[in-house]
Chain A
Amino acid sequence: MHEPVVSLADVSFRFPDDQVNTLNGLTFTIRRGERVVISGPSGCGKSTLLYLLNRLYPLNCDGIVEGDIRLFGKRADDYRPGEINRLIATVFQDPDSQFCMTTVEEELAFTLENLRVSRADMERRIVDVLAQTGLTDFRNLVIQSLSGGQKQRVATACALVAEPEVLLLDEPLAHLDPLTARNFVRWLDGIQKQTGLTVIAVEHRLDLWEGFFEREIVLGSDGQMIGDHTADSKAPVVFPKRASGMTGKPALSVSDLSVEISGKQLLELLSFDIGEGEIAVIAGPNGSGKSTLAKALCGIYKHTGTVKSPGTGYVPQSPEFLFLTNSVQDELSFSGLATTKMLDDLADRLKLKAIWDAHPFAVSHGQKRRVAIGAMLADNRPVIIMDEPTSGQDVAGLQELFSLIDERSREGITFLIITHDMEFASAVADSVILIKDGRLTGKFMAEEVWENPALLNAHHLLPPKGADRREPAFA
């Protein structure tokens, strides 16, 4: 058995403003070379636990720690600020906000300067870590020009350049699409095998990790440990079966739609029809023009060709971008198009009554999405386009999104949903619109797409995991 790197004995943690503990009586030991995942529902304190291990907490929040945390056999409190980060490195979830320098090389050097590595040693370490992570060609690239998946690899390289013993990962896949996430996990697997690094991750979507982890520590919603066992590969998120809400009437009809912005042809001659109550998923590689299509359809971008629609609404990935007023009620009545009776009806259907007077920025993400959809429906826009609503969502969030869309579809609302998540798509979609390089590959019935791995692959998509299980039902 290897020596312990992290050991907790009856550890509890409380934020200074809270009455109750966020973490309660945790006891466990993690040994060198282990691959451990900490799982649990949103808000159970997973990330808090991770921050106790890299010493971001308690100092940054004046939190109150009880019990004994030992890192490499030494009490956590005995480490000087910044000292532990030499041994325990961290990768965070948001690829956009963990860098402070312009190029990859400068970013790596930032870690080394913090750790007071001598200048003679810096060059060697940078060359080594780039070779080890396969990023040698990235050395002089500008970080902000990289894709999300590439940024996460760079963030990992910036952690590994410290030559740590332990790598902490705080939901590193949350903002990546499934294919990029899978490639990241495989890449990380190779690095872990090569270095024998201890990996401790916080994650709620274990299905994306395939068989990466050996051990799972499960936290309950009250911050207590409710399990510590061998990790088994998780089933993907389960959605209920839904019946299509299509009424047979036409809703949106697009012919020869093209978009050109500052001399660049972003979309070329797209034509398709969508029926009332239909849920269509728009998918395709990054930069293929999905968001451009969404914005052209609802009139944000100028286009040529014709779009016939009873009114098209748009819900961006951050629904708060739409909000203009100080209460949910004002948000829905903003345009003045809906009567009081219609507003009342919408509030009931979308379960907005409880937050009717709340500030739209102060409600949960799921509720913001409801408010945004409510605002669109109150504006007489019965065709709704949602831009990447699945990104960064946990299991509960995805299930809530599913029922929100499913219920509206049965009310005759038409949806176009941009997503990379074919798991979600297979649960919700009637049809799939595939786009590549600004051109329409075609509009397909959903089942046709799941049975065609070559087609999915060509559009950088992973087939839904349940596909093979579901197949007999369609035969």
Chain B
Amino acid sequence: MSRLLHDMNPSVKFIIVTVSMLTMAFFFNPWTPLLFWIGILILQMTMSRINWKLWALMMLPFTLGAVGYLWTTLVFGADTGGEVIGSFAGIEVTDQQWAHAWSLTFRVLAFSTLSLLFAFTTNPVTFVMSLMQQLKVPPKIAYGTMVGYQFLPVLKDELTQIRQAQRLRGVGQDRHWWHRITGTRRLLIPMLAGAVRKAERAAFAMEARGFTGERRMEFYRPIKVSGRDYVLAGVFLVVLALSCAGGIVLGK
């Protein structure tokens, strides 16, 4: 298996994913999302190396959601006319409802698979750097995001500390979920108080090292768009086009 998707330019990948999602939104037949979903799975299987176990775990909630869509559309969907093709426990299902339900289901699956493809094959640091270099996102936003990203493990550690300290004082064993939700305020205030201080310090440290937020001319590690990225983008577009065409043909 190759790592082509991992090495693809993140901005190009991002644009392709966005374009695919927007295109999918215009198709209401079940075949287009189904074909596209299968296409994405094949691309991911052949061009990336990921932890499929983790992938399956992440897909689980989306799959449940997809089944939910199927069920609710079949049972509660507005009657849009069409032939009744079957009935179950007194619920009559028309062919149009049937098609819409599967269309929604596959769309959810296709969207989530596509998002996971992006998430599993993209390094967040490279993505932000690429956004700044290819899509001209201002350095202030790009490096601000980077600082936030570096803070995540620190904040997680702090949250654990706060939880433990507060448990000592007799909170945290809330039996009901609504208590737990109102309790998050207690966790957030100490954490945010610390985060504000840290953010100011980080900003000072960056400025003291000559960061002004101006666009930079040269990068230590330029992230380039190569021929390979165009080819990969082409492959995605072909899969997209084929599933659109296939959907129109099969949907008739």
Contacts and interface: CB of A to CB of B under 8 A. Distances in A.
Contacts of B166: 321-322, 324
B168 interface: yes
A100 B146 contact: yes
A218 interface: no
B208 A96 contact: no
A334 B169 contact: yes
Given A321-B165, A322-B168, A112 B146 contact: no
The winner among B158, B201, B205, B217 for most chain A CB atoms within 10 A is B205
Contacts of B210: 82, 85-86, 111, 114-115, 162
Given A82-B211, A92-B205, A116 B217 contact: yes
Contacts, number: 137
Contacts of A159: 209
Interface stretch (B80-88, B94-102, B187-195): B187-195
Interface string B212-229: 101011111110000000
Interface stretch (B30-38, B58-66, B147-155): B147-155
A60 B153 contact: no
Given A100-B202, A316-B161, A316-B165, A114 B190 contact: no
Contact of B209 (A97, A158, A313): A158
B28 interface: no
B207 interface: yes
Contact count band on A: 35 or more
Contacts of B198: 94, 96-97
B170 interface: yes
Given A85-B208, A109-B220, A114-B211, A144 B154 contact: yes
Interface residues of B, number: 45
Contact of A321 (B147, B161, B201, B222): B161
B167 to A, nearest CB: 7
Interface string A98-109: 111110001001
Contacts of A90: 205, 208-209
Interface of B: 125, 143, 146-147, 150-151, 153-154, 158, 161-162, 164-171, 186, 189-190, 193-194, 198-199, 201-202, 204-212, 214, 216-222
6 contacts: A109-B220, A115-B210, A122-B218, A314-B165, A324-B169, A324-B171
Interface of A: 51, 54, 56, 60, 81-82, 85-86, 89-90, 92, 94, 96-102, 106, 109-119, 122, 143-144, 155, 158-159, 162, 168, 295, 298-300, 313-314, 316, 318, 320-324, 334-335, 361, 375, 379
